[in-house]
Amino acid sequence: MSILLMVQAMNCKVSNPARKSVLLKLVDNANDGICFPSYQQSH
């Protein structure tokens, strides 16, 4: 997990809470600019 990306995602204004959750999940799977979420994990 990239702490820098997590902070940026938390500060990002997203109108839809579900989209914010998806963004945070993608960031949780990210590693400083590269994101590798599996299809099964993103559900």
Amino acid 31: pLDDT: 72
The CA-CA-CA angle for residues 20, 25, 27, to 5°, reads 95
Tell me the domain boundaries of the chain. 3-32
Dihedral angle sign, alpha carbons of residues 2, 28, 39, 18:
negative
Q: Where are the beta strands (DSSP E) in 1-43?
A: 30-31, 34-35
User: Averaged over 22-37, what is the pLDDT?
Assistant: 77
Amino acid 41: pLDDT: 55
Per-residue pLDDT for 43 more than 60?
no
Q: How do residues 15-27 score in pLDDT, each as one tens digit? A: 999 999 999 988 8
Per-residue pLDDT for 9 more than 90?
yes
Please, which residues bridge with residue 17 across strands?
none
